[in-house]
Amino acid sequence: MNKLRCIIVEDEIPASEELSYIISKYDSIKVEGIAHDGESGMELIKHKKPDAVFMDINMPLENGIKLASKVKELDSSIEIIFVTAYEEYAIKAFEVNALDYILKPFDEKRISITISRLEAKWKSKKMDNKELPNIINEIINKIDKEEKLVKKLPCERNGKIILVDIKDIYFCYIEDEKTYIKTKDDSYLVGYTLHQIEGKTNFFRAHRSYLVNMDNIKELYSWFNGTYKLVMNDLQKTEVPISRNNVRKLKELLGI
């Protein structure tokens, strides 16, 4: 398993050794090196190309805030965690987009929070969009295992997974061989086929390319050749076709 790689830039040797020891307790992260001033710290960062840097602010040869700016210019994906005895630098730390700000003396519980943040950020960066459907499927399988019907569907948007309540879904549809769900005012990619979603919900199969949430239908009208169309209650008042084979079932569900 790949580990998150970090380095420590800290001019106080006892503090750097203590921090390294605390970090070593976590299986997911590895300290790749320690530097004791800003200049050697920058050289170490260029050489090791770490995922994260724990750095002091008051250091000889290079102030930590300036060093952090240079690191971000070198590689904006490197996460910065400041370790300092002074609270007054917090705003400047925010300005250079630091992930966290840890005060000395070190508190292991506080550092555990930082490590959790770092792990979450690292995992999100490592997540390949191609893997998202599999991850979404795993989440679906874990949701409400004791019941057939799920209460939420995990969807993908810009590399993030969003859980959408079933009641907020108006319909599901296929476009360019991908499956999407439509809410009142938005659409999301989902990792399941329409058939799989149908098995997890009470949605009505209106058409081979559409699943409909019956609670979010606005109206129904006759179209042609024995087919009908549903008008959904979303902002766009989307019209969904009903295939001839499904008209009778729809009428039975509606009691008409």
Q: For 205-214, how does the pLDDT look when each residue is reduced to its tens digit (9 = 90+)?
A: 999 899 999 9
51 and 28 in a single domain? The answer is yes
In single-letter form, the type of residue at position 5 comes to: R
Instruction: Band the pLDDT of 18: cuts 50, 70, 90.
Output: very high
Residues 250 and 156 in one domain: yes
- The reply to whether 119 and 219 lie within a common domain is no
- pLDDT of 6 > 70? The answer is yes
Tell whether 210 and 197 lie within a shared domain.
yes
Are both 12 and 78 inside the same structural domain?
yes
Q: Where are the alpha helices (DSSP H) in 35-107?
A: 38-48, 64-74, 90-95
CB 83 within 8 A of CB 11: no
Q: Specify the pTM.
A: 0.50
Which of 70, 95, 126 is the endpoint of a domain? 126
Whether 49 and 74 have beta carbons less than 8 Å apart is answered as: no
User: Rounded to an integer, what distance in angstroms lies between the CA atom of residue 75 and that of residue 63?
Assistant: 18
- DSSP E strand stretches across the chain: 4-9, 29-35, 52-55, 79-84, 100-103, 152-157, 160-165, 171-175, 178-182, 187-190, 204-207, 210-212, 217-222, 228-232, 239-242
Note the residue count of the chain.
256
pLDDT reported for residue 175: 92
Among candidates 31, 20, 116, which has minimal Cα distance to 124?
Answer: 116
pLDDT: which is higher, 121 or 45: 45
Q: Considering only the C-alpha atoms of the chain, give the largest distance between any 2 of them, rounded to a whole number of Å.
A: 83
**pLDDT reported for residue 87:** 77
Last residue of a domain, one of 110, 126, 142: 126
Domain containing residue 156: 130-254
Greater pLDDT, 131 or 223 = 223
Residues 55 and 27 in one domain: yes
12 shares its domain with 99: yes
Q: Read off the CATH number of the domain in which 37 is found.
A: 3.40.50.2300
Query: Residue 146's pLDDT band (boundaries 50, 70, 90)?
Result: very low
Give the residue from 126, 148, 166 where a domain finishes.
Answer: 126
One domain for residues 161 and 122: no
For 85, list phi and psi in degrees, rounded to 5. -95, 0
Distance CA 234, CA 163 (A): 19
Q: What is the mean pLDDT of the chain?
A: 86
Please tell me whether residues 103 and 178 are part of one structural domain: no
pLDDT in tens, 62-119: 788 899 999 999 998 899 999 988 777 666 767 778 888 888 899 999 999 999 989 8
Model confidence at 55, pLDDT cuts 50, 70, 90, reads very high
How many domains, the chain?
Answer: 2
pLDDT at 185: 92
Same domain, 183 and 247: yes
Tens digit of each residue's pLDDT (9 = 90 or more) over 56-78: 998 877 788 899 999 999 998 89
| 178 and 97 belong to one structural domain | no
